Every structure is written in structure tokens, then in C-alpha cells.
Chains A and B, each alone.
Chain A
């Protein structure tokens, strides 16, 4: 290859505490190419890029720009080297306009005039085909508009090396296609583009070369034209992985939760849930797919009693006595007092599900501390539960007194899911339960969810990885901009179908009932009690199962 080298990294190492985020990474970037940085969650892609962009400073190693050693200590230094990064979480000031954000930090020696900036922004937009109103405030913008602002911001500074951190995660396919066109145009302009992603098809369709990172180390850099999807996956995860999630047919499904015409608005008055109606059945996993921020959070929080609804009903069928109660606008406490055993694994584990600064025992108490009439808390039982969960789910922790925020992501999630399952729920909702988890922890979570399903729990699973949704869920409900755009059978649908539904503007008619046999009219007493296979199931959870059986719950 006789291309000019734009940037070179040698032996880059970065530690966070005692954890190595990057170990001895070498990387070369040429001018006029698109280099994809591929790797699983938490493999150090973003950290590595942040070191080029001056957010972090490497503990060891050197960076060369245009053949000269560069000492990039701050983002400002990065700009001097004509490096610009578009972060995954946009770094924009909400109360500023697009232009104010774009010009922020630029000191070109000229007198500051927002009018001149507006004109420059329009100029750049025209050249690359962006659509933007320079005076619009950021907090009034859609996600893709914000991303546009970020890209113009970098171009405004004349960057030659652009780093994009998972730019398509928040975009619709149409927006993605438009972005890719723009990126190709920039490459043809001679700019170097580094794009962080873990979506293989994007890598293959867009990039010239691919650098693969695994557990902080650089595995290889290959030419895109000479590789394929399975080779990349293999390098990425280290071994060929098929999901192979065990999925059984739902046993005796009956309606457990019946949601009708649910509507909600957020603080800004924007409609976040729009006429949502669906049923969740016992003994099935109902997946919820959609682009991030389509209303998934609000949907789950509405059921959990944390989101006010403008209208609608959330009817819960109590399996014990067949009674029906409306959960709408009830507080979590009222829901519990109605005898509804609802468990909820929220997306924000340390911010909502757990208290980061408390130890495992105290986190176990979150759900149960009210037990008993005593004024004082009983820590003996939560401690026992904590020990059980640590033991049965193989939680790695220095001890019971370690604050949970110091555990790794997978262990945090095990603690949270373990606690939520320990109350033997009849409805279990989990939002992105495997986000940021390594493969082993992810499978632990899939197994736990499957066991719950086999125990007759109605499981609602909000996911982002379509492969997981397809292999785990019995039915998948797709939402887009707060509306249900379809409910499909997990065994029959395809990724393409889901992709189409995820970006469809208007709701289409869909079947609310599953295709597999239902037992609506079968009297409760004749329900067969299926014995779940409990071979690999942890002890604590087995005890939970036993407890459920003793109470004569439907399986």
C-alpha cells in the first residue's frame, strides 16, 4: 500500500484503576480511508479513540501524526493535529443553538459574531449535503440532527482525521445510509475516518480496512475486501460463537398483563407512548425491539408504577385468585400491596435498580426492608439472600461489604437480576439486561430469564441485539416513536422484518395473540405442572422454584 500514513499508534496502554482498558495497541491509519474499529462492548475501542482525541492520556506508548510524535494531552491539542471526534453521547450544550455549539472553543482570531458563524455553518452544510437550522436550540433537536451538529462541529475546525463512536446506534436505516454517503464523500476528499462499531454489515459495506480489538488488545487489521462476516466475528470474540439460546415452547400461556390504549407524554410535552395495546402471557418471553429511546423505558416504567399515563389501562390477572386489577397510576408500593408480584430490572442498574455506594446486603434489602412491624431493619435475611446469590450465580466480589459500584458490570447485573427473581415474580420485566456484559454473564442472564418463563412468569424483555431477541423471545413487539409497529413470532420472523418494523412511521394492524396454543379457557385446576429441567440451575433459584410449587402457582 503506497498511501500516506495519517496517524500511527505504538504500544498504547491505558489502565483504569487496576483494569487494563488497552494493552500495547499498535494501529496505523492512512489518508483517504475509512477504518472501522470493531470489537465487542467493553473491548477498549472507545478508550483507544479517546486517547487520540485527547480525552484520556495513555499510560504508555506513543502516537504519531503525519510522521511526527504527537503529545495529545487535551482535545484542544487534538484539534491542532486536525483530529476530531464525534462521541456516542453527544457533547453538546442543550441550551445553546447549533451554531453556538459549533463555534464553541474555536478561536480564529476574528471578532465573534454569531451571524458569521451561521453563514459558515450553512456553507458547510451545502457542501456535504446536511440539512440544518443553525439557530435551532439543541434541546429541540432530534438525535440525528444533534449528530449532524457534532459532525459539522468537527468539520468547522478543519479536521482531517474524524473519529465516530458508534454513530449509527441511534439512527434509522435511512439516516444511516445518508450518513454513510457523507462519510464516503469525506474519504474521497482525502480525510481519514475512524468509525467505531460492532455492527458487522456496516463494517463490510462502509470501511476500507477493519481493525479488531479484543479485551483491550489489537488482534489484527485486515482489508475489508478480503474478509467476511464469520472471520471478523471469530477475531472479535476469539472463537466462533453461535448464540444457541435454549428456547422451549410456552407452557399453558394465559393472559397475565393486558395493556390497552396506553398514552403518556414526557416533561417537554412530547408524546412518548402512543396508543400502546398488547397482552403479555404467562410462560412466554415477550421481546420489545426498537431503536433506543422509542418509548421502551416509559413503557416498562408505566407498568412498574413509575410513569404517569394520560390514558389507558394496565390490567393484571392475578393467577392466584383470577382477579383482575388495574395497575395504571398506582405507586410501586400500591402495586405490591395488591398482591402483584412484579419484578423490574431497569436499564440503569446502578442509578435505579441498585444503590452503587451500598453493599450487596443493603441492596438486597431494597425490596424487602419493609418486612415486619419492627422499627428496625433486619439484615440477617438479606445477608443470607446475598450469600445465596453470590454463590449460585457465581458473583465475583471481594466480600459482602463491598459497595456494588466496585463490581464489574456482569456481577452488578447478576446481583440485580438475582434480587428481582428471588421474590418469585409473576411478571418480570428486564430492560437491556445484557448490555455491557461479557458472553458468559449474558448467558447466565438468558438462562435465568428462560427459567422464569418455564416457571410460568410472564417475562418482558427489552433488547437491542436483534439476534438475541430472535433466539430468546417467543414473540417480539416492535415499537417506533412510542407506537407499536408490529408484534411478530420470534420463531418465524427475520432480522430484516424487525428492521423494517423498527423504522416504520405508522402502525400497521398486528395480531395481539400468539400463534402457539393458548389455554384461556382451560380451567385452572387442570393445568399440568411441568417439571422444569433443573440440572444446571443454581441452588438458590431451585429453592425459589420449590417455594412457588408449594404455593400451588401455575407453572
Chain B
């Protein structure tokens, strides 16, 4: 070890944890991060795609989400879908159960609904069919959540990887069903004629109302019910939960069933209100995006409306961009990814503060 001591300068700054930050300042930091990110993306698209000016990304984003009545409706629909899946993963996350299997839980729910419509659609009246579909989806989603939860509760099996694998099992089950259902070998199921939810005023309105009610319901469940309280305690400290006699295993399993069931509801909505069919890509990665939406909202259902809106806005806007400029449809993911990095990164400035050292204090003698 050398005895030579480097003449080092005092560090320019150091990082300390913040005690607390007013919600307004927190919001401001996040807004700044998003604005900076969008500006960066604008410049990026300007150079990569050669848009007319650096700000055309922003105008295209707004145009993509709000440019016409149709687009506003589509925005509202996507928002509802995004919100619904985000709500579904939230109870488990509040318990610090990293369920990244929403994708599979929704898909299996859709599969259950479509199966019902496919096999017994002719035999029963639409109303009854819808009820059966609903329960089938909820049960299927719940079971898909239950399986990893049981193993987590009994043997602490890593839930992140387990739920991830369940996504693929669900995907291949759908692929299997599609082969069985399409004798022509195309594996493309057309619109299933039965089990459509009635249209009220607009095709998407009922969906939006259902998700709105769900948001309120989940909020009350999480913040005002005994079960919601137990979820918070288990999530904060399992030791405390044991200490006051909460059966942690039971709460883990029950909460994952709830999460899975809500995913099942979304699956039902895909089948009955949106797609009326199923492909292996029905959910399209929203299960993963939902995790980030939920996390960004600090697991609060009402804030989740805003974070879902943000993600949907970015997604829609940048898909508009890809059509407008005829570039890959994967481009939105790049934009969303970059903006997510900024939002994730800006949390640092909310939780920590950077203290710059005063310049050499000769006076402090």
C-alpha cells in the first residue's frame, strides 16, 4: 500500500436523503423530467427521421391522441385498458409481490371468455353467456395468479420469474387453442359472433364506465378495507404482520387471487367489448407497461389515471408518428422507453438532495 497521499479536492457535492418533499415540488420535478425527455426525443426524431422541425414530434403526439373525435375515443379506450391492467397488478405490488404475469393473467382470462363464446355461444342467450364468460375469465385469471402465489407462500419461490413463465404458458395455450379452432391451419380466429357486451351510446363507453367504477372500487378496497390494510402491513413489514397475527401466507394468496381476478375482468372485456377474438398478442405487452404505470403512480389508483394517460398519450402519439413518417411500428416503444428512463431517473431528485459544498471556507476560521 502506498503511503503517498493524493492531493484530492473536496468533493464538489454529496448526496443526502431528503426528509420529505412537498407534493407540489415532487410534481414539478416529474413534470420537468417529462418535458426534458420529450424535448430530447423531439431532437432525436428530428435527426433520425428527418421531420420538418424539431418540434413536430410534440405536435404529432398531440395530434395522435387528440387530433380527431375518433382518436380521442381511442385514447380514452386505451387509457381504460391500460388503467385496468395497472389496477390489477397494484394490490400485489402494494404487498411487494412482484407480479409480472399480468400479461398471462389477462390473456388466459380472454381465452376463457372466448372459449365460452366459441363452444356454448349458440346454446345460451347472450345475457347468460356474458355472465358465464365473466365468471370464467375471473376464475381463469385468479387461478393464473393463485399458482405462483401458493408457491411463494409455501416455499418463497421467486414470484417474478414464476409469473413471467406463466405468461409464456398462457401464450402457448392460446396458440394451441387457435390451432384447434381453425381447421384451415391459419391460426387466425375471426370475430366470435356471440357474447358481445351491448353498445351504449358509443362502443367504448361501457368499457370506460366499467373501468371507472373499478378504479373507485380498488381505491376503496386498498385504502379503506380491512383486507387492504392487511396488504399494506404485509408489504411494509412481514415481521410486523406476524407480530399482530396476520397470516402472511393467506394474505399473499388472497391478494394474488384478487390481482389475477381483476386481470381476468380485463380479459373478459377484451373478449366481450373490444376484440371479440383472441391472438397470442392480444395483450401486446401491456402487462409489463402496467407495472411501470402502477409504480410511477406510487400504487395509488387515482394517480394511476394520470400515469396511464401519460403512457397512452406517448404510445398513441408515437404510433401516429410511425404512420405519418412511415417508420417501424416499434418506434413508439423507443420513445416510451426513453421517457420512462427520465421519469424513473427523476425519482432520485425527489428522494435525495444534492448538496454542493461551499467554496473553500477560509472565513470559517
Interface residues of B in 229-270 (CB under 8 A from A): 229, 232-233, 236-237, 239-240, 242-245, 247
Q: Is the CB of A60 within 8 A of B1?
A: no
For B184, list chain A residues within 8 Å (CB).
none
Q: Is the CB of B1 within 8 A of A370?
A: no
- Complex Cα distance, B94 from A355, in Å, reads 14
Interface residues of B in 215-232 (CB under 8 A from A): 220, 224-229, 232
Q: Is the CB of A305 within 8 A of B240?
A: no
- Complex Cα distance, B236 from A79, in Å, reads 38
Q: Is the CB of B243 within 8 A of A346?
A: yes
Given contacts A73-B11, A79-B1, contact A306 B237 (CB under 8 A): no
Given contacts A57-B11, A80-B1, contact A376 B239 (CB under 8 A): no
Is B19 part of the binding interface, using a Cβ–Cβ cutoff of 8 Å? yes
**What are 28 A-B contacts with C-beta separation under 8 Å?**
A57-B11, A60-B364, A68-B5, A70-B5, A71-B10, A73-B8, A79-B1, A80-B2, A108-B1, A157-B1, A304-B243, A306-B242, A351-B237, A351-B240, A352-B237, A352-B240, A353-B243, A354-B240, A355-B236, A356-B236, A370-B226, A374-B226, A375-B225, A375-B226, A375-B227, A376-B225, A377-B225, A377-B229
Q: Is the CB of A355 within 8 A of B233?
A: yes
Given contacts A80-B5, A157-B1, A306-B243, contact A365 B229 (CB under 8 A): yes
| Cross-interface CB contact of B236 among A17, A358, A377, cutoff 8 Å | A358
- Complex Cα distance, B1 from A77, in Å, reads 11
| Cross-interface CB contact of B245 among A68, A331, A356, A362, cutoff 8 Å | A331
Is B202 part of the binding interface, using a Cβ–Cβ cutoff of 8 Å? no
- Complex Cα distance, B5 from A304, in Å, reads 56
A97 to chain B minimum Cβ distance, whole angstroms, is: 22
Q: A329-369 vs B: 1/0 string, CB under 8 Å?
A: 00111011000000010101001111111100010011101
Q: A373-414 vs B: 1/0 string, CB under 8 Å?
A: 011110000000000000000000000000000100000000
Chain A residue with the shortest CB-CB distance to B7: A71
Interface residues of B in 1-52 (CB under 8 A from A): 1-3, 5, 8-11, 14, 16-17, 19-20
Interface residues of A in 88-118 (CB under 8 A from B): 106, 108
- Complex Cα distance, B150 from A348, in Å, reads 29
Given contacts A81-B5, A406-B19, contact A376 B226 (CB under 8 A): yes
A155 to chain B minimum Cβ distance, whole angstroms, is: 13
Chain A residue with the shortest CB-CB distance to B244: A366
B91 to chain A minimum Cβ distance, whole angstroms, is: 15
For A354, list chain B residues within 8 Å (CB).
240
- Complex Cα distance, B9 from A4, in Å, reads 27
For B3, list chain A residues within 8 Å (CB).
80
Q: A123-160 vs B: 1/0 string, CB under 8 Å?
A: 00000000000000000000000000000000001100
Is B361 part of the binding interface, using a Cβ–Cβ cutoff of 8 Å? yes
Q: Is the CB of A352 within 8 A of B239?
A: yes
Chain B residue with the shortest CB-CB distance to A18: B19
For A77, list chain B residues within 8 Å (CB).
8
- Complex Cα distance, B241 from A369, in Å, reads 12
B232 to chain A minimum Cβ distance, whole angstroms, is: 7
Interface residues of A in 47-96 (CB under 8 A from B): 57, 60, 68, 70-71, 73, 77, 79-81
For A331, list chain B residues within 8 Å (CB).
245, 247
For A346, list chain B residues within 8 Å (CB).
243
Is A11 part of the binding interface, using a Cβ–Cβ cutoff of 8 Å? yes
For B8, list chain A residues within 8 Å (CB).
71, 73, 77
Q: Is the CB of B361 within 8 A of A355?
A: no
B17 to chain A minimum Cβ distance, whole angstroms, is: 8
Interface of A is mostly: loop
Interface residues of B in 185-237 (CB under 8 A from A): 220, 224-229, 232-233, 236-237
- Complex Cα distance, B244 from A304, in Å, reads 10
Interface residues of B in 320-355 (CB under 8 A from A): none
- Complex Cα distance, B242 from A305, in Å, reads 9
- Complex Cα distance, B19 from A158, in Å, reads 39
A83 to chain B minimum Cβ distance, whole angstroms, is: 12
For B9, list chain A residues within 8 Å (CB).
71
- Complex Cα distance, B242 from A344, in Å, reads 13
For A355, list chain B residues within 8 Å (CB).
232-233, 236-237, 240
| Cross-interface CB contact of B239 among A304, A305, A348, A357, cutoff 8 Å | A348
- Complex Cα distance, B364 from A406, in Å, reads 32
Chain B residue with the shortest CB-CB distance to A355: B236
For B364, list chain A residues within 8 Å (CB).
11, 60
Chain B residue with the shortest CB-CB distance to A398: B20
Chain A residue with the shortest CB-CB distance to B8: A71
Q: Is the CB of A352 within 8 A of B2?
A: no
For B228, list chain A residues within 8 Å (CB).
377
- Complex Cα distance, B235 from A356, in Å, reads 12
Q: Known pairs A17-B16, A375-B227. 7 more at Cβ < 8 A? A: A16-B16, A57-B11, A73-B8, A304-B243, A306-B242, A306-B243, A374-B226
For A18, list chain B residues within 8 Å (CB).
19
- Complex Cα distance, B243 from A365, in Å, reads 13
A354 to chain B minimum Cβ distance, whole angstroms, is: 7
For B233, list chain A residues within 8 Å (CB).
355, 358, 366
Q: Is the CB of B5 within 8 A of A158?
A: no
A197 to chain B minimum Cβ distance, whole angstroms, is: 29
A19 to chain B minimum Cβ distance, whole angstroms, is: 9
Top 4 A-B pairs, shortest CB-CB distance = A332-B245, A333-B245, A352-B239, A355-B236
For A406, list chain B residues within 8 Å (CB).
19-20
For B239, list chain A residues within 8 Å (CB).
348, 351-352
B266 to chain A minimum Cβ distance, whole angstroms, is: 24
- Complex Cα distance, B224 from A332, in Å, reads 24
Q: Is the CB of A57 within 8 A of B14?
A: yes
| Cross-interface CB contact of A357 among B14, B224, B236, B245, cutoff 8 Å | B236
B283 to chain A minimum Cβ distance, whole angstroms, is: 31
B15 to chain A minimum Cβ distance, whole angstroms, is: 11
Chain B residue with the shortest CB-CB distance to A379: B224
| Cross-interface CB contact of B232 among A358, A375, A376, cutoff 8 Å | A358
- Complex Cα distance, B335 from A486, in Å, reads 70
- Complex Cα distance, B237 from A362, in Å, reads 14
Q: Is the CB of A376 within 8 A of B224?
A: yes
A157 to chain B minimum Cβ distance, whole angstroms, is: 7
Q: Is the CB of A332 within 8 A of B226?
A: no
Q: Is the CB of A332 within 8 A of B243?
A: yes
- Complex Cα distance, B247 from A406, in Å, reads 28
Chain A residue with the shortest CB-CB distance to B10: A71
Given contacts A70-B5, A358-B236, contact A377 B226 (CB under 8 A): yes
For A367, list chain B residues within 8 Å (CB).
244
For A332, list chain B residues within 8 Å (CB).
242-245
For B2, list chain A residues within 8 Å (CB).
80
For A158, list chain B residues within 8 Å (CB).
1
- Residue from B14, B19, B233, B240 with most neighbouring chain A CB atoms (10 Å): B240
For B224, list chain A residues within 8 Å (CB).
376-377
A333 to chain B minimum Cβ distance, whole angstroms, is: 4
- Complex Cα distance, B2 from A157, in Å, reads 11
For A106, list chain B residues within 8 Å (CB).
1
Q: Is the CB of B240 within 8 A of A353?
A: yes
For B5, list chain A residues within 8 Å (CB).
68, 70, 80-81
- Complex Cα distance, B233 from A77, in Å, reads 42
